[in-house]
Amino acid sequence: MSSTSRSSAQLLATLTCCATSIVLPGCKKQSHQAAAPDAPKTSVIEYTVRGKVIALPGPMGDLSIQHEAIPEFRNPDGKLGMNTMQMPFPLAEGMTLPDTIAPGDLVEFTFAVEYVPDFTSLVDYHLIAIDELPADTQLDFSPLERQGQAN
Ligand SMILES: [Cu+2]
């Protein structure tokens, strides 16, 4: 196994940290292009989120971002919501970050998550777009369950 695929498995484990008791699929087993008509396809959901850049991609190619809670995130256990957290985002193939992105920057970004068709497990995920936000943007890193509630 290459170091790249081992890294993907670790990233997948990170991504699923919000979910409980799920079985991680083997990495890169499925793709958008089904090899045969009856081969399983993936269901892809794109999430657009705001966050703060923690670290630029290192040798393994992952961007680290502290992201706001994602109430609509679909977990493999059927529950919705991913809490605010710092996590790595592998860049989509062929994607390069704008030169101006630096640690500490506030960003709005979109990542695509591939699930098996019935959403019961995650296959992979990648960052597909990123834009810088004004430095004075107020981000909300409060936990998921407290958002939208009066104190
Ligand atoms: Cu996360």
Q: Please give the distance, rounded to the nearest whole angstrom, from the Cα atom of residue 111 to the centre of ligand 1.
A: 11
Closest CA to 92 of 116, 117, 114: 114
Residue ranges and CATH numbers for the domains of the chain are 3-28+40-141 (2.40.50.320)
Q: Please give the distance, rounded to the nearest whole angstrom, from the Cα atom of residue 84 to the centre of ligand 1.
A: 6
The model carries a pTM of 0.73
Q: Please give the distance, rounded to the nearest whole angstrom, from the Cα atom of residue 4 to the centre of ligand 1.
A: 20
Q: Which residue has the tokens 């990123």?
A: 130
Residue 107 tokens read as: 């960003």
> Per-residue pLDDT for the chain (151 aa), expressed as one digit of tens each?
444 444 555 555 555 544 433 344 444 444 455 455 666 689 999 999 999 999 999 876 689 999 999 999 999 999 999 999 999 999 999 999 999 999 999 999 999 999 999 999 999 999 999 999 999 999 999 998 766 655 4
Q: Compute how many other C-beta atoms are within 10 angstroms of the C-beta atom of residue 124.
A: 21
Q: Please give the distance, rounded to the nearest whole angstrom, from the Cα atom of residue 24 to the centre of ligand 1.
A: 16
